[in-house]
A = this chain, B = another copy of it.
Amino acid sequence: MTDALRSDGAAPTLEDVARAAGVSRATVSRVVNGVRNVDPAIQETVRQAVSVTGYTPNRAARSLVTRRTDAVALVVSGTGVEPAAGGGGQTERPGEGDAAGRGGEGSFTARVFADPFFGRVVTGVVDYLRPRGIHPVLMFAEASWARDDVVSYLRQGSADGALIVSTHAEDPLPALVAEAGLPAVLYARPARPARISYVDLAHRDGARLAAEHLLARGCRRIATISGPLDIPAGADRLAGFQETMARHGHPYIPVAEGGFTQESGEAAMERLLTAHPGLDGVFAGNDLMATGACHVLREHGRRVPEDVAVVGFDDSGAAAACRPPLTTVRQPVEDMAAEMARLLLDRLAEPERPATSVIFEPTLVVRASA
Contact = CB atoms under 8 A, between A and B. Distances in A.
A58 B156 contact: yes
Contacts of A135: 137-139, 153, 158
A179 to B, nearest CB: 11
A137 to B, nearest CB: 5
B103 A126 contact: yes
Contacts of A71: 137, 158
A69 B152 CA distance: 15
A93 B334 CA distance: 20
A321 B262 contact: yes
Contact of A69 (B60, B95, B104, B146): B60
A338 B103 contact: yes
A101 B323 CA distance: 32
Contact of A124 (B64, B103, B123, B131): B103
Contact of A58 (B64, B127, B317, B323): B64
Given A58-B156, A156-B58, A110 B131 contact: no
A120 B126 contact: no
Contacts of A247: none
A60 B262 contact: no
A75 B140 CA distance: 18
Interface residues of A, number: 64
A230 B36 CA distance: 47
B130 A101 contact: yes
Given A64-B61, A102-B128, A107-B127, A114 B317 contact: yes
Contacts of A122: 109, 113, 138
A136 B140 CA distance: 11
B131 A94 contact: yes
Contact of A103 (B127, B155, B291): B127
A186 to B, nearest CB: 19
Nearest to A288: B321
Interface in A307-350: 317, 321, 323, 334-335, 338
B155 A56 contact: yes
Contact of A126 (B93, B118, B128, B138): B138
A102 B127 contact: yes
A90 interface: no
A291 B320 CA distance: 13
Contacts of A103: 123-124, 126-128, 334, 338
A21 to B, nearest CB: 20
A119 interface: yes
Interface of A: 11, 56-61, 63-64, 69, 71, 74, 93-96, 100-104, 107, 109-110, 112-114, 116, 118-120, 122-124, 126-128, 130-132, 135-140, 146, 152-153, 155-158, 262, 291, 295, 298-299, 317, 321, 323, 334-335, 338
20 contacts: A56-B156, A57-B156, A59-B157, A60-B63, A60-B69, A61-B64, A71-B158, A101-B130, A103-B124, A103-B126, A103-B127, A107-B123, A107-B127, A109-B123, A109-B127, A110-B127, A112-B119, A135-B139, A137-B137, A137-B138
Given A135-B138, A135-B153, 7 more contacts: A57-B156, A71-B158, A74-B138, A102-B335, A126-B138, A136-B137, A136-B138
